């Protein structure tokens, strides 16, 4: 490793240690090194062995690859703005890891990953609710959706414009979602602990951040909040994207013969939103008053509804999920023997077992001799 490389590696180890809230002596004790040794490693004076680096990464909750590759500029900017004394949250660490993984896979199998050659031109940030609705119309055009159609395959459509959507169960009382801009495209992570309607609302909100080119965001609560800030306007954007005015009004008119509960169940299922989001949108569009919106929020879709109305039960972003282009790129990298089986399984985040990976082609005898000669 070159001297510059050793210094850069040492600096990254130091940054990761400080984010983890550890002193040099504490890290040294956890990995079985002297404090002076850690000091020399961080200063780029002493080389760090591969096994030592693996132990350091494990203790700090980092991947070795995060030390050995240049992090996305958005991540560097985000961490710099917060200062070294603030520890990364769970979603910060996961987003950072996903960003590194995607950029590695992009370098190995760009054709399969399909990220755009350059970033999308940023759309104007919405300064009003009317702007938010207009942004939703522009987003639908970019995603190839009509003016009225439900956005059923939102994850795949987001990937088509460069936003790769991952999900992970982050538990209750943690962030709903986060997004980071990459050198090409971006990555969103959605908390799959939430119900599917809320997950889809969170993704729509993150898509808004991506379209206006916000470099790094973590949204701790995506909801039907009121207010005049950018987050509430992007909430409006998300509702407008998932529940387009022409489509919702047409569906509401077509179900006029049914009672309020049945209409709500059917439309929420058609557009795959939660009842809170539907109630807020119907009230925004003047289709229900506040009392009716309250009743809709209290409505629960039952198993009997699913059977009697033949409803589709979505599973978008359930558990740990990875975008299809990313999975294809990892498998292509493995098939082309650019990464090991272990690395492929790591990049696939436990969604594949060894037997799920494609078999590698057998080598001819002359290839083996060429390799060892």
pLDDT digits (tens, 9 = 90+) for 286-343: 999 999 999 999 999 999 999 999 998 888 999 999 999 999 999 999 999 898 898 8
Domains of the chain (ranges plus CATH)?
Answer: 1-68 (1.10.260.40), 245-301 (no CATH), 337-372 (no CATH)
217, 178 Cβ separation under 8 angstroms: yes
> Please, is 143 exposed, middle or buried when counting C-beta atoms within 10 Å of its C-beta (0-12, 13-18, 19+)?
middle
Give the C-alpha distances (Å, rounded to integers) separating 150 from 9, 124, 205.
Answer: 48, 24, 16
Pull the structure tokens for residue 197.
């309607």
In angstroms, rounded to a whole number, what is the distance separating the alpha carbons of residues 51 and 29?
15
Question: So what's the pLDDT on residue 363?
Answer: 62
Q: Would you give the DSSP letter of residue 286?
A: T
260, 284 Cβ separation under 8 angstroms: no
Adjacent-strand bridge partners of 180: 187, 216
Residue 242, Cβ neighbours under 10 Å: how many?
A: 26
Mean pLDDT score, 250-257: 95
In angstroms, rounded to a whole number, what is the distance separating the alpha carbons of residues 101 and 64?
11
> Does the pTM exceed 0.85?
no
166, 182 Cβ separation under 8 angstroms: no
166, 180 Cβ separation under 8 angstroms: no
More confident residue, 4 or 216: 216
In angstroms, rounded to a whole number, what is the distance separating the alpha carbons of residues 110 and 95?
20
Q: Would you give the DSSP letter of residue 322?
A: -
In angstroms, rounded to a whole number, what is the distance separating the alpha carbons of residues 197 and 274?
4
Pull the structure tokens for residue 112.
């399969």
Beta strands 163-168 and 186-191 are: parallel
pLDDT tens column, 67-102: 776 767 666 666 655 555 555 577 888 898 899 899
Q: Would you give the DSSP letter of residue 333?
A: H
271, 154 Cβ separation under 8 angstroms: no
Q: Residue 224: helix, strand or coil by DSSP?
A: coil
Whether the per-residue pLDDT at 373 is higher than 50: the answer is: no
Q: Which of 333, 366, 368 is closest to 348 using CA atoms? A: 333
pLDDT tens column, 114-156: 888 777 889 999 999 999 999 999 999 999 999 999 999 999 9
């Amino acid at each position: 490793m070159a001297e510059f490389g050793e210094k850069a590696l040492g600096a990254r180890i130091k940054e990761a240690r400080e984010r983890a809230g550890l002193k040099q002596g504490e890290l040294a004790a956890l990995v079985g090194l002297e404090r002076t040794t850690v000091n020399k490693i961080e200063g780029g004076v002493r080389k760090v062995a591969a096994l030592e680096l693996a132990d350091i990464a494990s203790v700090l909750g980092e991947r070795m690859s995060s030390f050995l590759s240049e992090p996305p500029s958005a991540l560097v900017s985000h961490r710099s703005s917060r200062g070294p004394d603030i520890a990364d949250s769970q979603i910060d660490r996961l987003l950072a890891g996903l960003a590194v993984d995607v950029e590695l896979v992009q370098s190995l199998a760009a054709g399969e990953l399909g990220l755009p050659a350059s970033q999308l031109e940023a759309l104007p940030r919405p300064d009003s609710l009317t702007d938010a609705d207009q942004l939703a119309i522009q987003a639908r055009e970019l995603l190839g959706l009509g003016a009225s159609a439900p956005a059923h395959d939102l994850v795949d459509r987001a990937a088509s414009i460069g936003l790769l959507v991952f999900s992970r169960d982050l538990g209750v009382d943690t962030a709903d979602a986060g997004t980071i801009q990459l050198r090409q495209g971006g990555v969103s992570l959605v908390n799959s602990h939430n119900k599917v309607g809320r997950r889809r609302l969170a993704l729509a909100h993150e898509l808004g951040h991506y379209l206006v080119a916000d470099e790094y965001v973590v949204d701790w609560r995506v909801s039907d909040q009121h207010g005049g800030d950018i987050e509430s306007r992007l909430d409006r954007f998300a509702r407008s994207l998932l529940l387009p005015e022409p489509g919702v009004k047409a569906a509401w008119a077509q179900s006029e013969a049914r009672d309020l509960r049945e209409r709500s169940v059917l439309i929420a299922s058609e557009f795959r939103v939660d009842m809170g989001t539907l109630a807020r949108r119907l009230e925004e569009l003047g289709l229900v008053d506040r009392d009716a919106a309250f009743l809709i929020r209290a409505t629960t879709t039952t198993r009997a509804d699913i059977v009697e109305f033949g409803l589709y039960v979505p599973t978008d972003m359930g558990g740990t999920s990875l975008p299809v282009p990313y999975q294809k790129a990892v498998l292509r990298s493995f098939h082309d023997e650019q990464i090991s089986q272990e690395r492929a399984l790591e990049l696939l985040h436990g969604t594949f077992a060894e037997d799920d990976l494609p078999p590698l082609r057998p080598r001819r005898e002359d290839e083996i001799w060429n390799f060892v000669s």
